Structure 1
Amino acid sequence: MTEQILVLTDAEDVTAERVAALLTSRGAEVLLLDPGAVPTGAQVEMTAAGTGRVRRWLRLGGRDVDLDGLTCVWHRRPTAPVPPHTVDDPDVRAHLSGEVKTYLDGVWRALACRQVPATRDVIDRADRKSYHLPAAVELGFAVPPTLITSDADRLLDFYDEHDGKIITKPLHRSPRGTAEAPMGRYTEPVSTRDLGYLAALRLAPMIVQAYVPKDVELRVTVVGAVVFAVEIHSQATRHTRYDWRRYDHQNTPLQVHALPDDVAERCRTLVDRLGLSYGAIDLILTPEGQYVFLEINPNGQYDWLELATGLPITAAVADLLLTGSVEVPS
C-alpha cells in the first residue's frame, strides 16, 4: 500500500518541501496543504450518516483526496485560516478565522492515522512553558530560577534576589499581531528603565528568569529515539548573546555536540512524556559544564542545523513519517 502523507504547513516551507521530495523518492504520496488557504484556496469537507459511516476529504488543486485513507499527518508549521480580503470588518474576520480553525482542528484530531509530532491539542499543550517546564524539572533537568507572575512587587523582589541579572521572554511562542502581520519578541535583559513600566504587568503574567552564563547554547533535536545535538556559539557575537534567534550566521559557529548519555536520555524521555515524537529542545552549557534546560518547541526548525553540520535530520524525519519510528544508529 502506498503511504499517503499530508503535510500541514505554510506555502513557503522549504524544509517541508525537502522532506516531501525525499518521501516521494521512497515511493510515498505527499500532499502539502497550507491550512490558511481553507476554504478559499482549498476545501475540507465531511459527511456523516446514521449508518455510522463518516467520510472526510480534501479538495485541492482540482482533485479530491480521501482523508480517511491517509497514513500520516505531519503538523509541521500550519498557518491560521485567513478570511478573504473582501471581508474587512475585524470582528467578522476573527469570527470566520476561528470557525475554520475549530472545524479543521476537529477534522485532523478525528483521523485514525499516525500524527507527527502528535495531535494538535497535544502539540499546543506541550508548547506551553507553564506545562513543559515542570515536566523538565521532574525529570531532573537543571533550569534557571524562574518566576511567572503578574505582580510587579514580586518581580521587583526577584530582580533584587538576582542582583538585576534577569531576563524576560515570551510566555508563549505565538507571535503578536495578526496572521497577516505577525510580530515576534526575543529574550531580553531587564534594564532599570524597564522597571518603570512594571505597572502594566497587572494586565498579563510574564515569565522572568535569572540570567544563566553561557559557554555555548545547544539545540537538541529529538526525532523518534534519535537525538541530534548542535552547539550554537551564541557568545561569539553581541547580536546573539541573549537570544541566538537574532541570527548572525557569519559570526555564530555551529558544531555537532556530543551530549552525555544521561542528558540525551533525559531529552528523549521529556519528548515522550509530553506525548510527542519530535521535539526541539534548547539547552545552555555553562562555563562550569552544567546543562541547563530552557524550553522545548514541539515543531522547532532544524533545517539550518542540518545544512551547517551535515546531520541527517531530514532523513530521520522522513523515517518517522513513513514508519512512526526512527532507530538509534548502531
Structure 2
Amino acid sequence: MSTDVLVLTQPGDTHADAVTRRLVASGASVTTFDPAEFPSAATLSLHLSPAGAIRRTLLRGRDRVDLDRVDAVWFRRPQDPRPHDEITDPEVREYVEQECEAFAGALWDDLDALAVPGTRADIRLAGRKQTQLRLAGRLGFELPPTLLTTDPDEFLDFWDAHEGRVVTKPLQRSWLIRGDESYARMAESATTVDVASAESMRLCPLIVQAYVPKRVELRVTVVGTRVFAAEIHSQDSNHTRLDWRCYDPSTTRHGVHALPGDVMRRCVLLVAELGLRYGAIDLILTPDGRYVFLEVNPSGQWLWIEDATGLPISEAIADLLRSGADRHLPNPVSGALS
C-alpha cells in the first residue's frame, strides 16, 4: 500500500532529508513544505459542501497537493506563516500572521492523518519542562532535585542546601536572536557571581538543579515502541562535562548502550503518555549505576547519533510514517479464526 506523507519543516533540514530519501525509495509519495511559504509563495484552500464534505488543497507553483490523501503528517520543524513582504505596517503584519496561523494551524490539526511526533497540541504540552519532570517522576524515573522559580530567596536556599553544587538552565529556549546576533544558553554551573546577582532572578524564571555526577550521558531516542540508546562520553572533556551539547563530535566518544528493561519501558511509556510517537530523552548514568532523567525533546535531533553508532533511527522514523497508510485497517482479533 502506497503512503502519502506530508513533511512540515524549514529549508536545510538534513534530518528530514535523511528520512524522506528512505520514504521515496520505498515508493511513498512525499511532500515537503515550509509553512513560512504561506501565503506569499503558496496557497491553502478548504471547501465544505452543504452536507459537510471537506476538500483541502495546497498549491505551490504548479504543484497541487490533495491534503485529504495524506496518510501521515510529520511536524518536524515547521515555521510560522509569513506575510507578503509588501505588507510593511507592523500591526497589519501581526494581524495577517495571526489570521494565517489560525487557518493553516487548524487545517494541519484537522487532517485525518497519523501525526508525528504527535498533534501540535501534544507537542506544545510535551515541551513544558515541569510537565515532563512531573510525569517522569510519576513513572518511576529518578530526578535531580529541581527548582523552577523567580524568587531569589528560594534560589539562595537551594544553593545552600546543595552546598553550591547546582546547575542552571533555561526553561524553554536555549537561544536568543537579536538582529544579526545570536546567543546560546546551555546548562551552566551556578557560581558566586550568580549568588551575588540573585535579585535578577525576579526578571525571568530559571531551572535550577542539583548537580548529578555522570559516568556517561545517554540520548535515548524513542520511535513508536522502538528504543535506541546511545552513550555520550561527555566526561572525557571539560568542554562537555556539564552539557554534552557543547561537544566536539571529532573527540567525544559515542557508543550503543544497553538499557535495563525497566528503564526502556519507562522511556516508551513516558513518550506515549505525553501523546507522542517520537521523543529524544536525555538521561544521566551515574558512577554508581543510577539512571537519572533530565528531559525529553519532541523534535530532538538524531543524525549525529546515527552516524556515530549505526543505530537505524532514520529508517525507524520512515517506518513509523509509512504506518500511517494502515491507520484505518481493523485490528486483528485474536481467536477470530479457528
Instruction: State if a TM-score over 0.5 links the two structures.
Output: yes
CA contact (8 A) 2:174 2:186 kept: no
Match of 2:79 in 1: 79
The alpha-carbon deviation at position 178 of structure 1 amounts to 6.8
Is 1:115 aligned to 2:123, yes or no? no
Match of 1:140 in 2: 140
- Cα–Cα, structure 1 residues 217 and 6, in superposed 2: closer, same or farther, change >3 Å? same
Counterpart mapping for 1:19-38 below 5 A:
19-38=19-38
Deviations along 1:5-53, whole A, 9 cap, x unmatched?
0001111011111211111111110011111222112222222343212
The aligned amino acid for 1:240 is T
Any unmatched runs of 5+ in structure 1? 326-330
- Quick one: higher RCO (CA 8 Å, sep 6+), 1 or 2? 2
Please state whether the residue corresponding to 2:280 is helix, strand or coil: strand
Moved more, 120-129 or 192-201: 192-201
d(CA) in 2 for partners of 1:90, 1:215: 51
d(CA) in 1 for partners of 2:174, 2:112: 28
- Cα–Cα, structure 1 residues 152 and 95, in superposed 2: closer, same or farther, change >3 Å? farther
Any unmatched runs of 5+ in structure 2? 327-338
- Cα–Cα, structure 1 residues 174 and 190, in superposed 2: closer, same or farther, change >3 Å? closer
Q: Percent identity?
A: 49
d(CA) in 1 for partners of 2:270, 2:47: 38
CA contact (8 A) 1:254 1:308 kept: yes
d(CA) in 1 for partners of 2:296, 2:101: 24
d(CA) in 2 for partners of 1:6, 1:221: 22
CA contact (8 A) 1:82 1:179 kept: no
Match of 1:292 in 2: 292
d(CA) in 2 for partners of 1:216, 1:89: 52
TM-score (norm 2): 0.91
Moved more, 44-53 or 71-80: 44-53
Please state whether the residue corresponding to 2:76 is helix, strand or coil: strand
d(CA) in 1 for partners of 2:110, 2:187: 37
d(CA) in 1 for partners of 2:180, 2:118: 26
d(CA) in 2 for partners of 1:179, 1:96: 22
Moved more, 194-203 or 308-317: 194-203
The alpha-carbon deviation at position 207 of structure 1 amounts to 1.1
Q: CA RMSD in A?
A: 2.0
Match of 1:328 in 2: none
- Cα–Cα, structure 1 residues 208 and 98, in superposed 2: closer, same or farther, change >3 Å? farther
Please state whether the residue corresponding to 2:163 is helix, strand or coil: coil
d(CA) in 2 for partners of 1:61, 1:312: 35
Please state whether the residue corresponding to 2:192 is helix, strand or coil: coil
- Cα–Cα, structure 1 residues 92 and 130, in superposed 2: closer, same or farther, change >3 Å? farther
Deviations along 1:267-291, whole A, 9 cap, x unmatched?
0111111111111000000111110
Alignment size in residue pairs: 325
Moved more, 276-285 or 203-212: 203-212
Match of 2:270 in 1: 270
d(CA) in 2 for partners of 1:284, 1:305: 16
Please state whether the residue corresponding to 2:65 is helix, strand or coil: strand
CA contact (8 A) 1:216 1:233 kept: yes
Counterpart mapping for 1:14-163 below 5 A:
14-163=14-163
- Cα–Cα, structure 1 residues 180 and 16, in superposed 2: closer, same or farther, change >3 Å? farther
